[in-house]
Amino acid sequence: MIKALASNPKLKDGNSIHSHLIRSGFDSNQFVMSSLIKLYTKGGSIVSARQIFDEMNQPEIVAWTAMINGYLTQGELNEALALFKRMCMVGPEPDSVTLTVVLSVCGKLGDLGVGMQVHSFIEKHVIERDSFLGNSLMIMYAECGFLDIAHKVFDEMPRRTVVCFNSIISQYLKHGEVEMARDIFGKMPLRDVVSWNTMLTGLAQTGHSQEALTLYREMGTFGMRPTKVTMLGVISSCTDLGALGLGMWVHAYVEKKSLNFDGFLDSALIDMYCKCGSIDMGLQLFDRALRGDLMSWTSIICGLASHGHGEQALRLFSRMRESGIEPDNIVFLGVLSACSHAGLVDEGIRHFDSMENEYRITPKIEHYGCMVDLFGRGGQLEEALRLILGMPMRPNAIVWGALLSACKVHNDGRLGVMVAKRLLELEPSDPGNSILLATIYARDYEWDCVMRLRKEVRERGLRKTPGCSSIEVYGIVHEFLVGDSSHLEFKTIYSMLKTIEEQIKNTTCFQDN
């Protein structure tokens, strides 16, 4: 009965059962009371769970493990580790299940010291390293940043399950080691749909969107049916590439296969339509969204803000708050961006102040960057500078860059030179900063300074990152770099560009005449 309640926690029923257990004398049964601890922790009442644990007479390993896992479930990681250390001093010897839980705690905390002690304990006591324990040990090292040791643990596993393969691939992708993830994925003796989803979503999240879409097409040839997690990675890739046509096809497929029956993909689809330029479709989908959760509101508010519909975004933000949904730091980025695009300086200041005053949200550096952009667009450059100098964290290149852009727009050469020099200190290897500073000097006719900067760029061998553009044709996204000749049809493309250029010149000449 307790296990049934634990799958759908109802603390009122749990309290009733607890009272009955005490009256019936079952409160001395370790397994029953451990199940009750699990029920309370799953229901969010960690204090009640700990009270039960503390009242137990010499709790056995199953109770210790249930309580430590309860702290892990509720995100109270330091409490979980403290209880494990206490168990090592006064309690029973940990078993493989306990150690699996503790390794998960160490990984999430990044506590390599305790994690290595657990590893040493496993080796010293010759505890059988089953796939669960070995997998947890591997993940712990990876999450602590030691991928080489994690891979060594993976190689030494006596039996590597599909879950173990999926875990190591996920960790490599999380740390940006895409090549290693590809290699392991290619060598897998058996793949399940989770393997494909792990690889596909990892590629999408690391900016390898074209490859993610290729992998999606390969899934079908291997007989794998896509899930809603698969489609989340595919939609994200379409968003990244700006592939609206393909995104619309994916949306139609999702609807046909009923993969969005619970609204899981609503926010991703809204985000895709907005970022691909179809704000009307994004709004239509938002109005039909099943969940209407914070993520959906965030997607549409940020989408409207990025397209310059600042006032409409702010109206939706007001509706969101009226519906009882609490904003988070991400939706505030959209709100501040909306104020910036709409030129609503005073309203932007009010929303920025409300983050801490009303919602106890500490502004991050991105929020300060939005405010600098807001003041800069409004021509309040000195106010923007004061905000930067008063930030609780060190301003980064993005923040200074927002102010420099404003200095260019408003022709403030004096402040622009100071800001550009700060940027050069932060990013000395970025030639774009030197070019911007040279542009400001040129506006003030300081040609000696311009020549000096250009000479420094040449001598240091700095090169500006080439511009990149993409276009979707019949569901295939083609990417181009400046001066690129790698495309199979580059001769035809450049020939057409030349023809267009000549037509523009002829049209201009005709208009001049």
* CA 497 to each of CA 484, 502, 507, 511: distance values in angstroms, whole numbers, following the listed order: 13, 9, 15, 21
Spatial contact of 388 and 400, defined as CB atoms under 8 Å apart = yes
What are 297-314's pLDDT values in tens digits? Answer: 999 999 999 898 999 999
At 470, is the pLDDT very low, low, confident or very high (cuts 50, 70, 90)? low
**Average pLDDT of span 257-282:** 94
Looking at the predicted structure, is the pLDDT value of residue 1 above 90?
A: no
What are 8-17's pLDDT values in tens digits? Answer: 555 555 555 6
For domain 364-467, the CATH superfamily is: Tetratricopeptide repeat domain (1.25.40.10)
Burial of 434 (0-12, 13-18, 19+ CB in 10 A): buried
**Average pLDDT of span 474-498:** 72
pLDDT of residue 409: 85
At 425, is the pLDDT very low, low, confident or very high (cuts 50, 70, 90)? confident
Domain ranges across the chain = 202-278, 364-467, 483-512
Q: What's the chain's average pLDDT?
A: 86
pLDDT of residue 414: 81
Rounded distance between C-alpha atoms, residue 169 and residue 416, angstroms: 46
pLDDT of residue 341: 87
Taking phi over 0 as left and psi of -120 to 50 as alpha, with beta for the rest, 227 belongs to beta
At 513, is the pLDDT very low, low, confident or very high (cuts 50, 70, 90)? very low
Looking at the predicted structure, is the pLDDT value of residue 316 above 70?
A: yes
**Average pLDDT of span 239-246:** 91
* Portion of the chain with pLDDT greater than 70, in percent: 82
* CA 218 to each of CA 161, 222, 255, 304, 500: distance values in angstroms, whole numbers, following the listed order: 22, 7, 21, 35, 38
Any residues with CB less than 8 A from the CB of 347 and at least 6 apart, and which?
314, 339
Taking phi over 0 as left and psi of -120 to 50 as alpha, with beta for the rest, 365 belongs to alpha
Nearest Cα neighbor of 147 from 119, 172, 184 is 172
Looking at the predicted structure, is the pLDDT value of residue 412 above 70?
A: yes
Looking at the predicted structure, is the pLDDT value of residue 332 above 60?
A: yes
Looking at the predicted structure, is the pLDDT value of residue 6 above 90?
A: no
Spatial contact of 3 and 35, defined as CB atoms under 8 Å apart = yes
pLDDT of residue 413: 79
At 420, is the pLDDT very low, low, confident or very high (cuts 50, 70, 90)? confident
**Average pLDDT of span 133-146:** 94
